[in-house]
Amino acid sequence: MTNIHKQQVLDAFHFRAACRTYDPARKIPKEDMDYILELGRLSPSSVGSEPWKFIVLQNPALREKIAPVSWGIKHPIHEASHLVVILAKKNARYDSDFLRNALVQRGLTPEQMAATVVRYKSFQQDDIKILESERTLFDWCSKQTYIALGNMMTGAALIGIDSCPIEGFNYDEVNRILSEERVFDLNEYGVSCMVTFGYRNKEIKKKHRKPVDDVIEWVE
């Protein structure tokens, strides 16, 4: 069990805001960054697929290469202590080696494996309908990465580390640059989103959220 209290978690949520300017002199200790990345790794995903990779992009030259097409990073790209590029798997079909390997790691018997594959086929084909194209499969995997993204940002806020989720970039160009630099195989993965981490260098304006009654409805 944990000793964290509800108010501590709420305080972290109020503290967390999209950080647009970081203190370039302050770097996140390795043990804290390892903790943040572990929160991503331990995150849940649909059918336990874990269709992600987390690229910690610390190479200054590579950061500068993607900077011109990453307009969502409002500050000089080197100011953030850490930049994480979150990749999504391109093919996590029910019958792919990728998903089958995930089932093998669970220690399923051959009978359990066969039954699970049949169930996942029905799920992907009939229930959620993501077998229509490569894009629908990739988008489904990208949805899973946002669970990890949220967990990492929340966990960072709990220990006083700022973050900013990034979707404002040219996806084709970032994919091209990083794949040409052999950061990842474009046949296997694509960029889902990015996130910066560091320490704010000025106060962040209090964020606006819709009233409770506008977003929460109980059906009893």
Write down the domain spans for the chain: 17-91+143-203
The predicted model scores a pTM of: 0.95
**Token couple for 205:** 């304006």
Question: pLDDT-based confidence at 2, cuts 50/70/90?
Answer: low
pLDDT tens digits for range 92-135:
999 999 999 988 888 888 899 999 999 999 999 999 999 999 99
17-91+143-203: what CATH class? alpha beta
Residues 6+ apart with CB under 8 A from 216: none
pLDDT reading at 217 higher than 80: yes
Alpha helices in 129-220 (DSSP H): 134-158, 171-180, 212-215
Summarize the confidence of residues 181-209 as an average pLDDT.
Answer: 95
